């Protein structure tokens, strides 16, 4: 039922009378909440960027090198060369290199080694081969992206058997420069 209009003045309520807090205080509260949200977002972003800066550019697994000639006298080099390469790469800031104790068993076909390295958490596999040519040893080394399955770097070296350590050092510098891109590799003790 409708009540008859008796002609008395109606009371009109204003919107700021409906809330317990005046409009100015509400606005100040909203601004304060937005400021707190901005500060929280800034702190979260700073910690995320710090973790990103500290994260390695790549996780490298170094596999046992293949003896292409089947020459038994090259077997020690097939183990020593990747061990030295792993050791040199592990010195580079910005790279995470899986320990030799985990990767020394990466042998066999490169496809199998890639699957095993990916299972260990590697993003890049360093694989190589060794063969004798006269009085020198020919060493082929390649870096394979495990995500894309393609080589990202490869190089061949020739050295006397007693100079293999020099090859490992040179290859490690070139690999680090490739993996770190434009960033200059940081070796301990060097600036």
Predicted pLDDT at 187:
47
- pTM beyond cutoff 0.85: no
Per-residue model confidence as pLDDT tens digits over 68-100: 888 888 888 888 889 999 999 999 888 888 888
Predicted pLDDT at 16:
54
State the 10-residue block means of pLDDT for the chain, 191 residues long: 60 59 77 89 76 63 87 86 90 87 73 80 89 89 87 91 85 90 50 41
Alpha-carbon span 158 to 130, nearest angstrom: 10
Indicate the helix (H) or strand (E) that contains 156.
Answer: strand 150-159
Predicted pLDDT at 184:
45
Per-residue model confidence as pLDDT tens digits over 53-70: 554 567 888 888 888 888
Give, as one character, the DSSP assignment of residue 93. Answer: B
- Residue pair 57/94 in contact (Cβ under 8 Å)? The answer is yes
- Residue pair 133/125 in contact (Cβ under 8 Å)? The answer is no
121: left (phi over 0), alpha (psi -120 to 50) or beta: left
Please choose, from the candidates 159, 154, 191, the residue with its C-alpha nearest in 3D space to the C-alpha of residue 174.
Answer: 154
Predicted pLDDT at 158:
92
Predicted pLDDT at 183:
41
Predicted pLDDT at 138:
93
């Amino acid at each position: 039922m409708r009540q008859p209009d008796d002609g008395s003045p109606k009371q009109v309520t204003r919107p700021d009378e409906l809330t317990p807090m005046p409009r100015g205080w509400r606005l100040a509260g909203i601004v304060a909440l937005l400021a707190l949200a901005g500060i929280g977002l800034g702190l979260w972003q700073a910690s995320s960027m710090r973790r990103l800066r500290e994260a390695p550019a790549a996780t490298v697994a170094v596999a046992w090198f293949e003896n292409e000639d089947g020459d038994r006298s090259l077997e020690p080099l097939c183990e020593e060369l990747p061990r030295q390469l792993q050791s040199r790469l592990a010195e580079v800031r910005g790279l995470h290199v899986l320990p030799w104790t985990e990767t020394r068993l990466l042998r066999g076909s490169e496809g199998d080694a890639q699957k095993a390295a990916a299972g260990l958490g590697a993003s890049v596999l360093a694989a190589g081969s060794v063969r004798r040519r006269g009085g020198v040893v020919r060493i082929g080394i390649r870096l394979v992206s495990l995500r894309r399955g393609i080589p990202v770097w490869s190089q061949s070296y020739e050295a006397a058997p007693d100079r293999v350590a020099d090859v490992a050092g040179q290859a490690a510098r070139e690999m680090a420069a490739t993996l770190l891109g434009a960033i200059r590799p940081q070796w301990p003790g060097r600036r």
